[in-house]
Amino acid sequence: MTRQEKIEMVAGTSNHPAKFIEELTADNDQLLENLVVVAKAQIANETAEQVFEAMA
């Protein structure tokens, strides 16, 4: 996954513009990686909730 793709994924789950995430993580790749982990967990939780609702 490219840096830009990571930034866009984090922006999509955080309600912050991509430019903000890009500037926030410009000098800190580890922060971006941590935000990606959080974003992936949030996406997984949302998916699980949708599956559960579909089964109900």
Q: What is the model's pLDDT at position 26?
A: 97
Q: Kindly report the CA angle at 33 between 16 and 28, in degrees rounded to 5?
A: 80
Q: What is the model's pLDDT at position 56?
A: 78
Residues 25-49: tens digit of each pLDDT: 999 999 999 999 999 999 999 999 9
On whether the pTM is more than 0.75, the answer is yes
Averaged pLDDT, 14-22:
97
**Residue that is written with structure tokens 């984090």 in the block:** 10
In single-letter form, the type of residue at position 19 comes to K
The two structure tokens encoding residue 38: 């959080």
The two structure tokens encoding residue 25: 């993580």
The two structure tokens encoding residue 28: 């800190």
